[in-house]
């Protein structure tokens, strides 16, 4: 089974997501206090800025053209396709 390494900046936290696991699911499994509320891509509390890597979404994708321009990634809905570096200012080590 493939695992992807995820690094959250500026906290410097690193954890792994298994294939078929969202960023949020993986973070919570590793005991990381990852902001979330609705788990449907509506509240935006889990939105990170993608600094490096690729993710995918099940249809329909929540990502708008504005989100793409800002490199926003919805942690509750995004599945890593590669190792990732994400930025979320409220996640702490």
CATH code of the domain containing 18: 3.10.20.30
pTM of the model: 0.94
Is residue 93 one of the residues assigned to a domain?
no
Is residue 34 one of the residues assigned to a domain?
yes
Chain segment 2-25, per-residue pLDDT in tens: 899 999 999 999 999 999 999 999
Is residue 52 one of the residues assigned to a domain?
yes
Is residue 92 one of the residues assigned to a domain?
no
Q: DSSP alpha helices (H): ranges in the chain?
A: 23-29, 65-70
Is residue 42 one of the residues assigned to a domain?
yes
Q: Which domain holds residue 13?
A: 3-87
Is residue 7 one of the residues assigned to a domain?
yes
Number of structural domains found in the chain:
1
Chain segment 36-52, per-residue pLDDT in tens: 999 888 899 999 999 99
Is residue 65 one of the residues assigned to a domain?
yes
């Amino acid at each position: 089974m493939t695992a992807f390494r995820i690094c959250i900046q500026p906290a410097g936290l690193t954890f792994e997501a298994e294939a078929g696991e969202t960023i949020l699911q993986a973070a919570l499994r590793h005991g990381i206090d990852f902001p979330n509320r609705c788990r449907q891509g509506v509240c935006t509390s889990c939105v990170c800025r993608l600094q490096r890597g690729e993710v995918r979404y099940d249809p329909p994708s929540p990502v708008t053209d504005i989100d793409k321009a800002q490199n926003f990634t919805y942690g509750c809905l995004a599945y890593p396709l590669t190792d990732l570096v994400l930025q979320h200012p409220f996640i702490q080590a």
